[in-house]
Amino acid sequence: MQDEKANENMISNSSLNTNHELPRFPIRLRWTIFVGLAVAAAVAVLSMIVLDMEREAWLKNQELQASIQVSRLGDELKIPMLAGSSAEVEFIIRNFAKKIPSIKAVFFQNASSKVWSFGDIGEIQDVLSVMLLPKETLHLPTDALWFAKKVTYGGADVATVAVEYSEQAWQALASQLLQRMLIAAMVVILLASVLVYWLAGRMSKPLEELALAARHVADGDYNQRLLVKGNDEFSDAASQFNKMVSDLQHKEKMREVLGRYLNPELVSDVFDNDNSGTLLNRKQEVTVLFADMVSFTAFSESTETEEVVDVLNQHFEIFHSIIDYYGGHVDKYIGDAVMAVFNHPKSHEEHTRHAAMAGIAMTVACKRLGILRKDGDKVSFRVGLDRGHVIIGNIGAAERLEYTVIGDAVNVASRMSGLGEGGEVVLPKETFDAAGDGFSFENMGDMNVKGVSDPLQCGVVTVTKATLKRDINYAVDKAFDATLPTNVRMMLGNTKS
């Protein structure tokens, strides 16, 4: 299932990347081209219809003229033909064709199949041989424009006459019509394109504003709002966008507020991951760090409440920065103690080494702060470490859960912090061995730890390698620079020097 989901995500990302690489094609241009093509197609169809209607009208007019002219020619030819005057028949035909420029050819055949003609008559004789012509003029079904009729005398059919007319007049008329319609179409397309480009620009402007605002929101600016105008789809989109941004802004504020109480990465897991707002329970190897104030009870009884809170917060601010620098996270504050976990949620193979360096850095920070108690002693913390497998999960009641770690490593780390003196970092030998080189182990002997059946060899860890010392001092300096006011840092700097 995971592989299939990964493949789907890859395909989706690939399609998104492909769409992102395509050249931008504004909506106003799309609509302008679409409307221009639509108008051109409409004009083309309309031109065909108009031309067809005009041709039908021209043909009807041609038929009317042909009916008169062919009938007149037949009447003029039948007397000379019956008289047997072929020369007169040919003269009448040629004279008729010369008087009417639109005539291309003339065909005349008597009852004895004798033919007189003018021009290229083609296959008209074969066509007429298979047709039964009426006494009225008929438009023949040929490619050329032929009109024919029977010539009668005394009620009998004595001849057949046919005349071919030129379509040059129609071609000139059609060319003129097409030219005018083309000019009209160009004017209409131009005006329509300008109008559509303007309208599409006005319509796309809200979309462009929406896209720009969405880009700012994607970059983390949740103060974007769109002006809602009108009562249409664009105003609905603007309203929904404003509501979405408000919800995102509220969600970000919740993330910031929760990030002050929980580890920011855990908060991000809840807000960003598709896990229905819950965190998964699992088992994992971690290093747990405990640090608690030495003689806190006596200090709190002899000190004003506000000062106690202020002293704890100063230390915890520094501790938080140091723990975060070394890749751990503060799991919880327990009164005067802080519990931190390494290798969760940030994974790191050398989490024990980082926890040891963080613990030593915390003791260095306490000495640098140098806050004095009423009895003259400096406020100090004891630090305990242990490495082991713990259960990471949601602990508590349904109405109030805490996402934390539980297990022997937590208990042992807590017990280790109670074994040392102020400014010491105590851990089992097995945990020390996992920290790597650069540290020394001052053996305290085997200790019976509550909750652990076998005694544990415990000791105090100190740093011996110069590079580790420089890194620890850098982490402390960074924590002081990030958390304390400038005047306090200057005072501490002078004390340090």
The residues pairing with 463 across neighbouring beta strands, listed in sequence order, are 439
Is the overall model pTM greater than 0.75, yes or no? Answer: no
Give pLDDT, residue 491. Answer: 47
Residue 317 falls inside a structural domain: yes
Residue 217 falls inside a structural domain: no
* Phi, psi (rounded to 5 degrees) for 239: -65, -45
- Report the pLDDT averaged over residues 33-57: 86
Whether 16 has a pLDDT exceeding 60, the answer reads no
Give 262's DSSP letter: S
- Please state, in angstroms and rounded to a whole number, the distance separating the CA atoms of residues 362 and 365: 5
Give pLDDT, residue 214. Answer: 83
- Please state, in angstroms and rounded to a whole number, the distance separating the CA atoms of residues 393 and 215: 37
Residue 326 — very low, low, confident or very high, per pLDDT cuts 50/70/90?
very high
**Residue 461 amino acid letter:** V
- Please state, in angstroms and rounded to a whole number, the distance separating the CA atoms of residues 323 and 342: 9
- Here the tokens at position 390 are 């713990």
Residue 355 falls inside a structural domain: yes
Whether 8 has a pLDDT exceeding 60, the answer reads no
Give 401's DSSP letter: E
pLDDT digits (tens, 9 = 90+) for 139-181: 888 888 999 999 888 888 888 999 999 888 888 888 888 888 8
Whether 315 has a pLDDT exceeding 50, the answer reads yes
Please, what's the b/e burial string for 253-287 (b: 16 or more CB within 10 A of its CB; e: otherwise)?
Answer: eebeebeeebbeebbebbeeeeeeeebeeeeeebb
Scanning 84-140, the segments in alpha helix (DSSP H) are 86-99, 124-129
367, 456: one domain: yes
- Report the pLDDT averaged over residues 80-86: 87
- Residue 243 has, within 13 A of its CA and on its CB side, a CA count of 6
Containing 284, the helix (H) or strand (E) segment is strand 282-293
Give pLDDT, residue 341. Answer: 94
pLDDT digits (tens, 9 = 90+) for 417-426: 988 888 999 9
Domain boundary, last residue among 191, 208, 225:
208
Residue 412 falls inside a structural domain: yes
198, 313: one domain: no
Give the total number of structural domains in the chain: 2
287, 425: one domain: yes
307, 406: one domain: yes
- Here the tokens at position 471 are 């890194």
154, 38: one domain: yes
pLDDT digits (tens, 9 = 90+) for 230-251: 777 777 877 888 888 888 878 7
Whether 268 has a pLDDT exceeding 70, the answer reads no
Tell me which residue of 412, 440, 414 sits closest to 428, measured CA to CA: 412
Whether 497 has a pLDDT exceeding 60, the answer reads no
Tell me which residue of 129, 115, 103, 104 sits closest to 77, measured CA to CA: 115
Whether 489 has a pLDDT exceeding 50, the answer reads no
Question: Residue by residue, what is the 3-state secondary structure of 415-457?
Answer: HHHHHCCCCCEEEEHHHHHHCCCCEEEEEEEEECCCCCCCCEE
CATH at residue 347? 3.30.70.1230
Domain boundary, last residue among 179, 208, 237:
208
Residue 340's domain comprises 282-496
Q: Is there a contact between 245 and 222 (Cβ–Cβ < 8 Å)?
A: yes
Residue 264 falls inside a structural domain: no
342, 463: one domain: yes
Long-range contacts of 444-447 (CB under 8 A, 24+ apart): 444/419, 447/419
CATH at residue 192? 3.30.450.20
DSSP letters along 190-201, please? HHHHHHHHHHHH
Whether 308 has a pLDDT exceeding 80, the answer reads yes
Whether 20 has a pLDDT exceeding 70, the answer reads no
pLDDT digits (tens, 9 = 90+) for 343-384: 988 888 999 999 999 999 999 999 998 888 877 788 899 999
Residue 83 falls inside a structural domain: yes
182, 307: one domain: no
Three-state DSSP at 49 gives helix
95, 182: one domain: yes
- Please state, in angstroms and rounded to a whole number, the distance separating the CA atoms of residues 174 and 55: 8
- Report the pLDDT averaged over residues 44-64: 89
Residue 185 falls inside a structural domain: yes
The residues pairing with 403 across neighbouring beta strands, listed in sequence order, are 394
Residue 479 — very low, low, confident or very high, per pLDDT cuts 50/70/90?
very high
Burial class (CB in 10 A: 0-12, 13-18, 19+), 480: buried
What distance, in Å, lies between the first and last C-alpha atoms of the chain?
A: 61
Question: Cis ω on the peptide bond leading into residue 23 (within 30° of 0)?
Answer: no
Three-state DSSP at 106 gives strand
Whether 5 has a pLDDT exceeding 70, the answer reads no
Domain boundary, last residue among 180, 208, 236:
208
382, 483: one domain: yes
Residue 471 falls inside a structural domain: yes
pLDDT digits (tens, 9 = 90+) for 383-416: 999 999 998 887 777 677 777 888 899 999 999 9
289, 195: one domain: no
